Amino acid sequence: MPIRCVLTPDEVRELERMADDEKEDQSEVSDVEEDLVGTPLANERDKLRAKKQLESREREEDSPKKRGPKKKKLTRARLAKLRLRRVKANTRERSRMHGLNEALDELREHVPCGQSSTQKLSKIETLRLARNYIGVLSEILRSGKKPDSVYFARSLSKGLSQNTMNLVAGTMQINPRSLVAHDFPPQYPSPYCAQNYLVKKEYSQETPSPVWRPDVQEASLPAGAKYIVNPAEMQARFTAAMQRCDPVDFEYDNWFDPDCVQQSSISIM
């Protein structure tokens, strides 16, 4: 990455010498020059604007004095001092950002896919993935059970870009399509989808789920779970709703596989 406006040690020493030489050099530099010196954008247009500013300030000299601290005259020595301060500030800022990047690199080492050899996670994706990862780990701690790989990958992929989703899917060795919102149930051979039920948390008898199955006996459900539906039926209803262009109230993250969580935790889902 190119580094601009970096002074050599000799140049820094020269600036420091000039800054220390304030008593010997009291020649004034105009404020307009101050605006321009050291600025990469000091092009012709800026110079023209500066000239107008200078003319404007000359007119203001006849007007009453303004309040506030008197502006110091800008000598060449003071100019050198200011420039040195800017150079130092730039160095500190660079160092600060490098520290931030090092911290992000360390974070990448602790998140899934963070050390991919094919694609480096961007900063924002690293933070999002870390957030999701913390959420999944918390859920595991709470439930005491390990989720299946698709649920795990889906949870990790919330809010991530398609590229990162693909990376997650690749790492988990699952079909990336199974992470796409409108691809439910996932198009992959999963014993969970094939054999188990899904439970949705916020629906009740008063506000039944669109896939509520009243024929299922509550006694056969895990403790706390009220309604269940098998994936095949859910797929059929979902497809039909899509064909009718009905608003589909399927929020996948709210569906849980009872076998993935302890029964005692079902009630608070």
Q: Which residues bind DNA (CB under 7 A)?
A: 1-6, 38-41, 85-86, 88-94, 96-98, 101, 122-125, 161, 163
Q: Nearer to DNA by C-beta: 91 or 138?
A: 91
Q: Nearer to DNA by C-beta: 57 or 146?
A: 57
Q: Nearer to DNA by C-beta: 3 or 245?
A: 3
Q: How far is CA 80 from CA 13, 92, 93, 136, 211, in A?
A: 11, 18, 20, 55, 74
Q: Nearer to DNA by C-beta: 142 or 177?
A: 177
Name the token pair of 226.
């009220």
Instruction: In whole angstroms, give the CA distance from residue 165 to residue 170.
Output: 8
Least separation in angstroms between CB 58 and DNA: 21
Least separation in angstroms between CB 134 and DNA: 20
How would you class 209 by CB atoms within 10 Å of its CB: exposed for 0-12, middle for 13-18, buried for 19 or more? buried
Element (H, E) at 233: helix 231-243
Instruction: In whole angstroms, give the CA distance from residue 148 to residue 259.
Output: 9
Least separation in angstroms between CB 34 and DNA: 9
> How many separate helices (H) and strands (E) can be counted in the chain?
10, 3
- CA 173, distance to chain mean position in Å, is 25
Instruction: In whole angstroms, give the CA distance from residue 31 to residue 46.
Output: 14
Least separation in angstroms between CB 56 and DNA: 17
Q: Nearer to DNA by C-beta: 49 or 96?
A: 96
Least separation in angstroms between CB 119 and DNA: 8
